[in-house]
Amino acid sequence: MVTNVGMLGYGTVGAGVAWIMFGQGELLSQKVGHPLRLVKAVVRDLAAKRDNPPPLGFLTDDPLEVVGNPDIQVVVEVMGGIEPARSLILRALESGQHVVTANKALLATHGRELFDTAAAHGRELNFEAAAAGAIPVIRTLKEGLAANRIRSVFGILNGTTNYILDLMTKDRTHSVPYEAHLKAAQDLGYAEADPTMDVDGTDAAQKLVLLTALAYGTLPTVDDVRPEGITRLEPLDFVFADELGYVIKLLAMANLPKEGGRLEVRLKPTMIPKEHLLAGVPGAMNAVMIRGHAAGDIFLSGAGAGMRPTASAVVGDIIDTAKVGATGHPSAQPSLGWHGIKAEGILPPGESRTRHFLRFTVRDLPGVLSAISGILGRHGISIAQVIQRGSGPEGAPVTLVMLTHTAKEKDVEEALVEASRLDALTAGTRRVTVEDFGDK
């Protein structure tokens, strides 16, 4: 027997897959136990100039040379986008081919349809590269932690934003605005020319949707996650985070402390303790922490993107798929809801309970502190710590920072609306979620 692999797309990731499979064909075949060959890739434009030119005859512009071709057992989708990727994957599964995809946007929006189709036809649909690049998080959730009830899954799922936040944390002048750091990241190739999907949180939210689906069987939408990006953070937020013992990360979290309760999913800039392993995740790295009832906390980190790391995960999936295909016993395991844990729907975002960092800009007048803390108190929010910074003539604007005890997000939001009516506030108030990971 032999496993022939056909690819949809030959961009950066596709070229990386070819680099690994052409470079190590012999060894990979040994691991699979039979010949494993990458035979064909479909591209839109055969004439396009390519940085990594493939062997003659390897490319085609006809998807049907791969999809539905009975000589090809595994279809690898690395073209991206929703259509025609969705239709081609459905057709491949329906015609009995196994599929490996790195397409998080597609799975996050049409995952249910695709996984149901795979299950109906007893085919594999593997997607390790879609969740966190080279980090084996899907595998760990499905296999390594198979014995566990998953309490929560959280981490850093976007390299571009982690790179920028790292720059802003390390900028000891505390004066360089977000836009300048973004520009630096773009110049160094850590951010795209159009970085919207990264900096507004969409990319990380799509990955969080996939991890949530796998851990809890619930496929939330990106809207359920209500992603909040990093564009509104200011240097001053990093100054006070540091002073309070925190680091700001774009934290993705799915959390179900009690089975039968509601599932919390969120993606937003979050202050986390400096000594936490996640705080030390540098540059464009990604990281995921999984809390299991037996294993405790398992932390995984590595490159979340890039040609070779992503291709490494895709080829890992190809090898697994070829091995399972060879037994003639498809795993027939649901890809979603793997852990059989039931959640009673999604927790509305305002119901999340965490500590909060509040940064007010107020006129330095008698009674301001009392007015603000009075409003917070009436909303049931108690204050753990206060810092007042800046001094000048009475009435000049100063910064007032408060760290609350655990409080419901919507209570805090309501209190801030009420506080915004105070004459003493001279600018909008910043709120950043604080996560201590204590009883998660």
Residues lying near a copy of itself in the complex (CB under 8 A) are found at: 16, 19-20, 24, 27-28, 30-31, 33, 128, 134-136, 139-140, 143-149, 275, 277, 279-282, 287, 292-303, 306, 308-309, 311-313, 315-316, 318-320, 323, 326-329, 331-333, 338-340
CA distance 42 to 36: 19
Catalytic hit among 40, 104, 142, 207: 207
Work out how close the CB of 406 gets to a copy of itself at its nearest, in angstroms, rounded to a whole number.
23
CA distance 163 to 281: 10
Tokens of 373: 């803390």
3-state secondary structure (DSSP) of residue 71: coil
Beta strand segments in 13-158, E:
36-42, 59-60, 74-77, 98-101, 125-126, 150-156
Nearer CB in complex with a copy of itself: 81/296: 296
In the annotation, is 207 catalytic? yes
3-state secondary structure (DSSP) of residue 162: helix
Q: b vs e for 408-428, b when ≥16 Cβ sit within 10 Å of the residue's Cβ?
A: bbebbebbbeebeebebbeee
Work out how close the CB of 208 gets to a copy of itself at its nearest, in angstroms, rounded to a whole number.
20
38-to-6, 260, 271, 326 alpha-carbon distances in Å: 6, 45, 45, 16
3-state secondary structure (DSSP) of residue 18: helix
Please name the helix (run of DSSP H) or strand (run of DSSP E) that holds residue 115, with its range, or none: helix 104-120
Work out how close the CB of 197 gets to a copy of itself at its nearest, in angstroms, rounded to a whole number.
23
Angle at 227 between CA 221 and CA 229, to 5 degrees: 155
Nearer CB in complex with a copy of itself: 95/331: 331
Q: Is the dihedral of CA 240, 434, 277, 210 positive or negative?
A: negative
Angle at 370 between CA 365 and CA 373, to 5 degrees: 130
Nearer CB in complex with a copy of itself: 68/144: 144
Work out how close the CB of 148 gets to a copy of itself at its nearest, in angstroms, rounded to a whole number.
6
Work out how close the CB of 128 gets to a copy of itself at its nearest, in angstroms, rounded to a whole number.
7
Work out how close the CB of 228 gets to a copy of itself at its nearest, in angstroms, rounded to a whole number.
26
With both helix axes pointing from N to C terminus, report the angle between 12-23 and 25-32 in degrees, rounded to the nearest 10.
Answer: 80
CA distance 345 to 343: 6
Nearer CB in complex with a copy of itself: 142/266: 142
CB-CB neighbours of 189 under 10 Å:
9
Task: Give me the amino acid identity at 145.
Answer: L
CA distance 47 to 93: 29
Residues 6 or more apart whose Cβ sits within 8 Å of residue 431:
356, 357, 358, 359, 412, 413, 416
Work out how close the CB of 240 gets to a copy of itself at its nearest, in angstroms, rounded to a whole number.
22
CA distance 268 to 251: 6
Work out how close the CB of 381 gets to a copy of itself at its nearest, in angstroms, rounded to a whole number.
31
Nearer CB in complex with a copy of itself: 30/420: 30
Nearer CB in complex with a copy of itself: 6/201: 6
Nearer CB in complex with a copy of itself: 50/342: 342
Work out how close the CB of 339 gets to a copy of itself at its nearest, in angstroms, rounded to a whole number.
7
Tokens of 330: 């498809």
Nearer CB in complex with a copy of itself: 42/134: 134
Give catalytic residues, as residue numbers.
207
